[in-house]
Amino acid sequence: MRETHTAVVFFVGDRAYKVKKPLDLGFLDFSTVAARRAACEQEVALNRRFAPDVYLGVGEIRSPDAEAPEPLVVMRRMPADRRLSLLVREGAAVDDVLRAVARRLAAHHAGAFRSPEVDEQGTRDALSSRWEASFAQVRSLVGDDRLPDGVAEAERLVRRYLAGRKQLFDTRIEQGRVVDGHGDLLGEDIFCLDDGPRILDCLEFDDHLRYVDGLDDAAFLAMDLEQLGAPEAAAYFLARYGEYSADPAPPSLWHHYVAYRAFVRAKVSLIQAGQGTAGAEAASRRLVSMALRHLRTSAVCLTLVGGLPGSGKSTLSGALADRLGVTLLSSDRLRKELAGIPAEQSAAAGYGEGLYTPEWTNRTYAALLDRASVLLSSGESVVLDATWSDAGQREAAVRAAERAGADLVALHCEVPGDVSAARLSTRAPGASDADTAIARAMAAEEAPWTEAVTIDTSGSLESAVAQALAAVRPWGSGQAPVFRRPYMEPD
C-alpha cells in the first residue's frame, strides 16, 4: 500500500488500484462517491495522453454494506526499483531518462489543447491569484505564529516580480506557451523502463490548475529533482526542455516557476503533516527555503555600473554581465549607434562638444533606460555601463527600475588618479573617446553618489567582480542553481 494526501494505492500482483480519499480540501472535493468516480474517469482519460499502456480503466469495489460501489483507477503495476526518484537518490546516471522525459513533455506541449480559457490561466493575474491562494492556505494550515521561515519574504518577492512582468506573461500567451499540461510532474511518478519512460499521475481534479505555461509544467520536475538532492539534474532537464520546445524564456521565469512549484509542494507537505505523515513538516520548511532561493535569484535587477573614464567600469560591466548571464548595455556604444557610426569609430571631441553635448548625452541616457525598461518588463536583468555622473540621470534610472518592479543596484568604480591616467594613456581605440583631459573635466563636475557601492577596481578583475557580486546578490550561498537558455549546456 502507498498513501498520498489525496489517495491510497494498493499493489496486487501486476496491478495497482488507486482509491480516492473522501476528502474536501477546498482546492479539491472528493467527499461524494459521484465526485470520486468522476475524478477516476478523468484521471484515466488524462493520463492516457502520457502513458496509454499503463492506465487500464476504472473499476469498483462492491460491498453489501456500502450504499454504492467505490470507484478506483486500475493500472498496470510499474517496477518500484525503476522509479526516477529512487534512481536519483541512489546516484544513478539519469541524463538519458531526463532527456527522454523533456522530449516527451515538449512534444505533448506542442500538440496540447489550447483555447482562450487555457490562455486565461497563463496571465500574470492568474498566476498571482494562485500564489495568493497558496499563501492563504499555508497560513490557515499553521497560523501566523508557526509559519515556516521565509514565507513573508517569499510573499514580498513574488508580488514584486509579478508587478512588473505583465508584458512577459502577455508575450508567453501570444507565443502559444500556455497549454493543457501534466500539472504534477514528480520523480516518484516517472518510471524508467527499457523501452522509454512512463509518466504517470497528472493533475486531474482541477482543469484550471493543469492549464499552465509549458515551462511551469517542466519546472515541477526540476523542483523535485532539486529537492531530491540533484540540482545539476534539475538544470540539465530544464535546459533540454528549453531546447526541445525552442523556448526563449528568460532565466528569471525559470526560477520563478520552480519557486512556485516548491511552494505548492510545501503546502502539500503541511497538509500531510496535519494527517500525521512523519517528516512532512520538516519537508515543508526545506521546500519553502528552496522557493526563497529561487525567488531571490529570479528577482529582476537593474545594475548601474558607473565611474569616470579609466576607472575600469566597462571592463567590470562586461565581466559582471557575463558572470550573471544578463544583458549588457553600454552608453558609449549606444551613443554612436544613435549617431549612425560604428562603435569603434572615433568621435573624439572636446569636453561637452560633438556627440558629447548635454543634448546628445541626455538623448543617449534616455534611450539607454528605454531599452533597459523593455528588457526588465520581459524578465531580463540588465547591466548599464555608463559614467552616471549626473544625479538627474541616476534618478531617472531609479524611476525606471521602480516602474518595472526591478531591484536597483548602483556600483561606482574608483581608482587612484595615477592608475586611471595610466589606463587612458595606454588603452587601445574603442567605443569610448574619453582621454585624460576629459576625465579631469568630468571629475570636476561629478555629483556625489552616496547611494552607490564603491568598487575598488585598482586590483584584479576577479576581485572587482567579487565585490560587485556581493552587492548584486547579497545572500551569497543562498543562490539557486544556474539555469541556462536553450541550446546551451549547463555548467
Whether residues 36 and 177 fall in one domain: no
Classify strands 211-213 and 407-414 as parallel, antiparallel or unpaired. unpaired
Domain that holds residue 40: 2-74
In a domain? residue 463: no
Q: What is the mean pLDDT of residues 130-148?
A: 89
CATH of the domain at 352: 3.40.50.300
Q: Is the pLDDT of residue 490 over 90?
A: no
Instruction: Record the cell numbers describing residue 323, joined without a space.
Output: 558572470
Q: Could you tell me if residue 491 is inside a domain?
A: no
Same domain, 51 and 182: no
Q: What is the CATH number of the domain that holds 92?
A: 3.90.1200.10
CB 371 within 8 A of CB 397: no
Question: How many separate helices (H) and strands (E) can be counted in the chain?
Answer: 19, 14
Rounded-to-integer distance, Cα 482 and Cα 218, Å: 16
Indicate the residue among 298, 314, 339 that finishes a domain.
Answer: 298
Q: Is residue 360 part of a domain?
A: yes
Q: How many CB atoms lie within 10 A of CB 167?
A: 16
Domain total of the chain:
3
Predicted structure pTM score: 0.87
Domain annotation covers residue 55: yes
Same-domain pairing of 286 and 321 = no
Q: In this structure, are strands 407-414 and 301-306 parallel, antiparallel, or unpaired?
A: parallel
Query: What distance in Å separates the CA atoms of residue 417 and residue 424, rounded to the nearest whole number?
Result: 11
Which residue is listed with cell 500539472?
183
Residues 52 and 115 occupy one common structural domain: no
pLDDT tens sequence across 24-65: 988 789 999 999 999 999 999 999 999 999 999 999 999 888
Whether 309 is covered by a domain: the verdict is yes
Residues 94 and 42 in one domain: no
Residue 206 in contact with residue 126, Cβ under 8 Å?
no
Q: Does 325 lie in the same domain as 281?
A: no
Residues 236 and 279 in one domain: yes
User: What pLDDT, in 10s, does the model give residues 168-220?
Assistant: 999 999 999 999 999 999 999 999 999 999 999 999 888 888 999 999 999 99
Determine, yes or no, domain membership for 161. Answer: yes
Query: In terms of domains, do 344 and 432 share one?
Result: yes
113 lies in some domain? yes
- Which three cell numbers mark 259? 519557486
Angle of helix 280-298 relative to helix 151-163, nearest 10 degrees? 30
Same domain, residue pair 322 and 397: yes
Question: Do both 195 and 101 map to the same domain?
Answer: yes
Please write the tens of the pLDDT for every residue from 424-451: 777 777 777 677 887 788 888 888 899 9
